[in-house]
Structure 1
Amino acid sequence: MLRRPIIQVLRQFIRHESDSTTSLILERSLNRIQLLGRVGQDPVMRQVEGKNPVTIFSLATNEMWRSGESEMFQAGDITQKTTWHRISVFRPGLRDVAYQYVKKGARIYVEGKIDYGEYTDKNNVRRQATTIIAGNELY
């Protein structure tokens, strides 16, 4: 009878100990996005004081679905939604290639991560911005 309570206490101690040690270990996470679409504007290169330059352009992606219950294709059955994405390229080699060769209307593939941030506009109003930060892939 004495063994059972000691084992339970040890299990609780080990469980508690393992919970506290896992909080010190950094967990891996994933923030990855893949986009295939058309460039909406020619890239612009900007440089903020004391920071590296960045190439920025917009990319349109389309989502299409069939509305209604009809299995056969008919005019008016397809609905399309266009989503615009702001793409920022910080990597020096990729940034320069994007600025020089990406043009409005080009179809490109972008791989990167999504970033949410805030900025203050010209009227001192705080705004939220969602940006795709291009990583290694830009085709």
Structure 2
Amino acid sequence: MFRIASAQVFRNVIRHSSTDATLILERSINKVQLLGRVGQDPVMRQVEGRNPVTIFSVATNEMWRSGEGESSYAGDVSQKTTWHRISVFKPGLRDVAYQYVKKGSRVFVEGKLDYGEYVDKNNVRRQATTIIADNIIFLSDNRV
């Protein structure tokens, strides 16, 4: 109880001691964890004046059973595959991902969501959702 009250007092002091009334220090979280299989070998791209980026895709699967009855083994099994675009900007991780991530390998990716826009080759503005990887754990050996 005392911790909660002191945390509230601390937050109020931070909010009200600022010279800028619009500055409110709040904690937020943007975290993604994916466990799946790599859909394509990574590519490394570099736009002029920017650091290179390694890009690959990861597929995650969701499975469920539908049907009548109380048994968990009755009914049809359905599956939905979702594809995720992974971008790796960290210099060390970027190079390791480019060298060791291979199509079909199983990986665990931690990172954050990023939403952006780009203009395609037909001059159409498109939206893209990307996972910016902070960590990659390799769960398959290289003999996939």
TM-score range normalised by the length of the shorter chain = 0.7 to 0.9
Q: Which residue does 2:58 correspond to in 1?
A: 59
Alignment-mate amino acid for residue 118 of structure 1: E
Q: Secondary structure at the match of 1:129?
A: strand
1:96-128 deviation digits (Å, cap 9, x = unpaired):
000000000000000000111000000110000
The offset of 1:136, in angstroms, is 2.9
Q: Secondary structure at the match of 1:49?
A: coil
Taking structure 2 as the reference length, the TM-score comes to 0.77
The offset of 1:77, in angstroms, is 1.5
Q: Which residue does 1:5 correspond to in 2?
A: none
1:1-139 equivalences in 2 (<5 Å): 23-70=22-69, 71-74=71-74, 77-139=76-138
Taking structure 1 as the reference length, the TM-score comes to 0.80
The offset of 1:27, in angstroms, is 1.2
Shift in CA distance, 123/23, structure 1 to aligned 2, threshold 3 Å:
same
The offset of 1:65, in angstroms, is 0.7
Deviating 4+ runs (over 6 angstroms): none
Q: Secondary structure at the match of 1:51?
A: coil
Tell me which moved more, 60-69 or 97-106.
60-69
Q: Secondary structure at the match of 1:98?
A: helix
User: How many residues align structurally?
Assistant: 121
Contact 2:34–2:108 under 8 Å retained in 1: yes
1:60-105 deviation digits (Å, cap 9, x = unpaired):
000001111331424x611100000000000000000000000000
Distance 1:22 1:135 in 2: 34
Shift in CA distance, 66/49, structure 1 to aligned 2, threshold 3 Å:
same
RMSD of aligned Cα (Å): 1.9
Alignment-mate amino acid for residue 58 of structure 1: S
* Percentage of pairs with the same residue: 78
Contact 2:90–2:134 under 8 Å retained in 1: yes
Q: Which residue does 2:3 correspond to in 1?
A: none
Distance 2:87 2:72 in 1: 41
Alignment-mate amino acid for residue 73 of structure 1: Y
The offset of 1:31, in angstroms, is 0.3
Contact 2:53–2:94 under 8 Å retained in 1: yes
